[in-house]
Structure 1
Amino acid sequence: MATIQSAAEISPLLAHLKGRTITALQVLGINSLKSASPPPEALAGEVVSAVEIVERIININTAGHLITFDLQRTGRVVLLEAAEPFRLAAGTTRPTVRLLMDDGSGLDLTEPAKTKRITATISAQPE
Structure 2
Amino acid sequence: MPEMPEVESLVRFLRPVCIGRVIAQVDLVAFSALKTYDPPLTALHGLEIEAAERHGKFIDLSAQGLHLVFHLARAGWLRWKDEVPQKPVRPSVKNPLSLRLRLDDGSGFELTEAGTQRKLAVYVTADPSSIPHVAGLGPDPLSDDFDAAAFDALLKEAGRSQLKGVLRDQKIIAGIGNAYSDEILHAAKLSPFKGANTLTDEEQARLFGAIKTELAGAMERAEGLAAKDLKGEKKAGLRVHGRKGETCPVCGDTIAEVSFHDSSLQYCPTCQTGGKKLADRRLSKLLK
Q: Per the shorter chain, which TM-score range?
A: 0.7 to 0.9
TM-score between the two structures when normalised by the length of structure 1: 0.82
Paired with 1:74 and 1:117, the residues of 2 have a C-alpha distance of 8
Normalized per residue, the structure richer in helix is 2
2:118 alignment counterpart = 116
1:73 alignment counterpart = 74
TM-score between the two structures when normalised by the length of structure 2: 0.39
1:48 counterpart SS class: coil
Paired with 2:8 and 2:64, the residues of 1 have a C-alpha distance of 26
Determine what percentage of the aligned residue pairs are the same residue: 25
Superposition pairs for residues 38-57 of structure 1, below 5 Å? 38-57=39-58
1:29 alignment counterpart = 30
1:7 alignment counterpart = 7
Q: Which structure has the larger Rg?
A: 2
Normalized per residue, the structure richer in strand is 1
Paired with 1:87 and 1:27, the residues of 2 have a C-alpha distance of 9
Letter in 1 for 2:7: A
Paired with 1:4 and 1:120, the residues of 2 have a C-alpha distance of 15
Paired with 1:53 and 1:73, the residues of 2 have a C-alpha distance of 17
* Alignment coverage as a number of residue pairs: 121
| Higher-RCO chain (CA-CA 8 Å, sequence separation at least 6) | 1
Q: State yes or no: 1:96 paired with 2:91.
A: no
1:113 counterpart SS class: coil
Paired with 2:26 and 2:104, the residues of 1 have a C-alpha distance of 12
Paired with 2:118 and 2:33, the residues of 1 have a C-alpha distance of 7
Backbone CA RMSD of aligned residues: 2.2
- 1:63 Cα deviation after fit: 1.2
5+ long unaligned stretches in structure 2 = 128-288
5+ long unaligned stretches in structure 1 = none
1:62 alignment counterpart = 63
Q: Is the 8 A contact 2:96 2:114 kept in 1?
A: no
